[in-house]
Structure 1
Amino acid sequence: MRNDTVTTFILLGLTDDPHLQVLIFIFLLLTYVLSVNGNLTIITLTFVDSHLKTPMYFFLQNFSLLEVSFTSACIPRYLYSIATGDKVITYNACMAQVFFIDLFAVTEFYLLAAMSYDRYVAICKPLHYITIMNNGVCRIFVICCWIAGLCVLIPPLSLGLKLEFCDSNIIDHFGCDAFPLVKIACSDTWSIEQTVMICAVLTLNMTLTCVVLSYAYIIRTIFRLPSVQQRQKAFSTCSSHMIVVSITYGTCISIYMNPAAKEEMTTNKVVSLLISSISPTLNPFIYTLRNNQVKKAFKDSMKRIVLLSLK
Structure 2
Amino acid sequence: MASGEQKFPPQKQDAQPGKEHVMDPVPQFTNPDYKPSNKLQGKIAVITGGDSGIGRAVCNLFALEGATVAFTYVKGSEDKDARDTLEMIKKAKTAGAKDPLAIPADLGFDENCKKVVDEVVKAYGQIDILINNAAEQYECASVEEIDEKRLERVFRTNIFSYFFMTRHALKHMKEGSSIINTTSVNAYKGNAKLLDYTSTKGAIVAFTRGLSLQLVSKGIRVNGVAPGPIWTPLIPASFKEEETSQFGGQVPMKRAGQPIEVAPSYVFLACNACFFYISGQVLHPNGGNVVNA
* Structure 2 length-normalised TM: 0.29
Greater helix proportion: 1
TM-score w.r.t. length of structure 1: 0.28
Higher strand share: 2
**Structure with greater Cα Rg:** 1
Tell me which of the two structures has the higher relative contact order, counting C-alpha pairs closer than 8 angstroms and 6 or more residues apart. Answer: 1
